[in-house]
Homo-oligomer: A and B are copies of this chain.
């Protein structure tokens, strides 16, 4: 499951190319060229263009999952803290790997049925995790929103959008952004309350 150095190179170069042009407008020839090897070499490692696409998408999920998994491990059991940790991990993902997310969003449609199934299966864990966190918070009475499901979708969407404008040389550090978006997420989930107070309940 771990990528060999050669595979990693193809995945990185391929992602850059797919993100720049889209799957259909990208040439596997160009990818091999930019990786500095022959086209046939690519075919030795991936059996076709579709296969490379899947590998890139899977690699994106791996990166994403390991980020929020690590964050949640350190977050304890409080739904508010878990929510904060999850949002921070999402912001980290979007700022550190902006291209990963852009691929996930736009290129799934180019997966053939079998690949799509495999990919969807792999994403299930992550999708479920945020659901659970919110459900827990609702059950615990700390997330008072009337629309928990819309909040979930919105939190994912607003963090995802960061990748479209974030500039590592800009004024905001990823850490600051993480705090900020965690706060905004809580504003959605706990309308009428000040999120800091929610956190205060924990202490």
Q: Is A96 an interface residue (CB 8 A)?
A: no
| Binding site secondary structure of chain A | helix
Contact between A154 and B147, CB atoms less than 8 A apart = no
Asked if A160 is an interface residue, CB under 8 A from chain B, the answer is: yes
Set of chain B residues within 8 Å of A105, measured between Cβ atoms? 105-106
**What is the interface residue range for chain A against chain B?**
35 or more
Contact B22–A109 (Cβ < 8 Å) = yes
- Tell whether A180 is near chain B: CB-to-CB under 8 Å: yes
Q: How many copies does the complex hold?
A: 4
Verify if A41 is at the interface (C-beta below 8 Å from B): no
Q: Enumerate chain B residues within 8 angstroms of A153, measured Cβ to Cβ.
A: 158, 161-162, 165
A154 to B164, CA, bound (A): 12
User: Shortest distance in angstroms between A151's beta carbon and chain B's nearest beta carbon?
Assistant: 7
A194 within 8 A of B: yes
Chain A 23-62 per-residue mask, 1 if CB under 8 angstroms from chain B, else 0: 1111000000000000000000000000000000000000
Residues of B within 8 A of A22 (CB): 22-25, 106-107, 109-110
Contact B21 A109 (CB under 8 A): yes
| A190 to chain B: closest residue by CB | B187
User: Contact between B147 and A157 (Cβ–Cβ < 8 Å)?
Assistant: no
Bound-state CA distance A192–B194 (Å) is 5
By a beta-carbon cutoff of 8 Å, the part of chain A in contact with chain B is 20-26, 105-107, 109-110, 145, 147, 150-151, 153-154, 156-158, 160-162, 165, 180-181, 183-184, 187-188, 191-195
